[in-house]
Amino acid sequence: MIRLIVSLSALLIAVSTPLADPAQDYADNCQECHGSGRLGSIGPALIPQTLGRMRGPNLISVIRDGREATQMPAFGDLLSDKQIDALSAYLKQPLDDVPPWGTEEIMASRELNPEYRPADEPVWSSDPFNITLVVETGDHHVSVLDGDTFETLDRFPTPFAVHGGPKFSPNGRYVFIMSRDGWVQKYDLYSLQEVGRIRAGLNSRNIAMSHDGNWVAVANYLPNTLTILSTEDLSVAAVQEIKGKDGTPSRISAVYQAPPRESFVLALKDVPEIWEVFYGPNPPHYGFAHDWRIEGPARHTKPFPVRKITTPDYLDDFFFDQSYEYVMGASRSGDGGQVIDLVIGHKIADLDLPGMPHLGSGITWKYGDTTVMATPHLKDGTVSVIDMKTWKTVKQIETLGPGFFMRSHENSPYVWVDVFFGPNKDVMHVIDKGSLEIVKTLRPEEGATVAHVEFTRDGSHALVSIWEDDGAVIVYDADTLKEVRRLPMRKPSGKYNVWNKITFSEGTSH
């Protein structure tokens, strides 16, 4: 009887609201490609964490019109406007529950390329340390460039929506690439082949490579975990749940490696804590919260001791000094910063950093008898230059708008910084490292977003992205600041030179 009433009322509801049942429409039309829990399959995950950047009508028009030259079909003829509106609102709702994504599930996602054949030597004759990768987000590919001739050696598909910088193994042979949906892809630059991929998280921020080349750490938002993979075969070494000292679950803002400390350092997003995870043979003896053991194959069994440091404020983004003892963090409110000493585990200085600095793209250089660190601001047209001995601001350089990336090279007298937001997003500033003045403002293509710079190994050339679907990488002579080549690319974002990355060039972020 009760069952009858329930199904009767369900029927009544169905009759009175016949137009939109987004969960059902999803199951009928989208699930086969976007996964049963909206967590992705052939198509990407459709969850607020990933759709947040698709504002207003964007999401609706993708569903209605599909995406040309991809497997995403148009639903305008199949679903009414009301159904599409409801579906788009439904996709922006948080998931009711996040499925477990531990060692077992992650391992089950691993796909090793059966055609992969390791090559002892590169199958090309370029300088292996001057290889430069270009991430092309327009159609989810990476181009492998010879850094001397700028010829393309290969162009390979990546998982959907690469996020954060790819990381090279210490000898520059392999590269690990992470996507927003948590896939980690391993690619062999010698044989120009994918080795395999594995889904280390469901929604992820960035990865870090241990300096010994043995481990890749993956910072996840969903679930609240840090995944450590063996670089050798992408097997899971550990999955650590992230909870603050008081038990509050937290996402990870970012993870970086601290080579002299043989540790990964991560900032938590929802709890004011920094964690340090040691992977070396001799972790320091102080301050461990607990040990955790690797669950992977027996030969990997070893503990990863974790140290948790409470900080006065949340750290959304951070930067290390060259000794990796000091962490410079931007505060969440966006109007200041702090310096944390990792050895003593305390804040030692405040930073005058307004306008939400983008510390993840900060760089350093010698300035007089000190070293300065510079970072663009995400909320105002300023670059802050900070003395790393006194932690005082040396100069705030005014730019034509908020910037995102900043780069230099040991052999270059200049620092390059983009304007990423606002009406002047087609501008790239070149700043003199000595005078701290803007010496040139480049505008290579009126109206096009121009962003992110990477240098060649010797610093003689600077590569700049025209960040548009029908975009390009422009090669500049780094001394004369003249354009020498233009390589067509599909929405190129970051570019990564093997040498500058594996030697931790002071001109690049890590």
Instruction: Give me the residues that bind ligand HEC (CB under 6 A), please.
Output: 29-30, 32-34, 42-44, 46, 50, 59, 62-63, 67, 70-73, 75, 87, 160
Query: Among residues 182 and 283, whose Cβ is nearest to ligand HEC?
Result: 182
Nearest CA among 410, 305, 299, 399 for reference residue 358:
399
C-beta of residue 215 within 8 angstroms of C-beta of residue 255:
no
C-beta of residue 359 within 8 angstroms of C-beta of residue 376:
no
Query: Among residues 83 and 220, whose Cβ is nearest to ligand HEC?
Result: 83
- CA 228 from chain centre, in angstroms, equals 16
Query: Among residues 87 and 442, whose Cβ is nearest to ligand HEC?
Result: 87
Closest approach, Cβ 253 to ligand HEC, in A, equals: 21
Closest approach, Cβ 303 to ligand HEC, in A, equals: 38
Residue 64 CB neighbour total at 10 angstroms: 18
Query: Among residues 54 and 448, whose Cβ is nearest to ligand HEC?
Result: 54
Query: Among residues 162 and 428, whose Cβ is nearest to ligand HEC?
Result: 162
Closest approach, Cβ 337 to ligand HEC, in A, equals: 32
Strand partners of residue 118: none
Closest approach, Cβ 22 to ligand HEC, in A, equals: 9
Handedness of CA 94, 100, 102, 106 (dihedral sign): negative
Closest approach, Cβ 468 to ligand HEC, in A, equals: 16
C-beta of residue 210 within 8 angstroms of C-beta of residue 279:
yes
Closest approach, Cβ 467 to ligand HEC, in A, equals: 16
Query: Among residues 84 and 359, whose Cβ is nearest to ligand HEC?
Result: 84
Query: Among residues 159 and 401, whose Cβ is nearest to ligand HEC?
Result: 159
Q: How far apart are CA 358 and CA 377, in angstroms?
A: 6
Closest approach, Cβ 28 to ligand HEC, in A, equals: 8
Strand partners of residue 384: 375, 396
- Give the gyration radius of the chain's Cα atoms: 24
C-beta of residue 431 within 8 angstroms of C-beta of residue 417:
yes
C-beta of residue 203 within 8 angstroms of C-beta of residue 181:
yes
Residue 457, both tokens: 């190994």
Q: How far apart are the first and last CA of the chain?
A: 65
Closest approach, Cβ 246 to ligand HEC, in A, equals: 35
| Residues shown for the chain | 510
Query: Among residues 163 and 429, whose Cβ is nearest to ligand HEC?
Result: 163
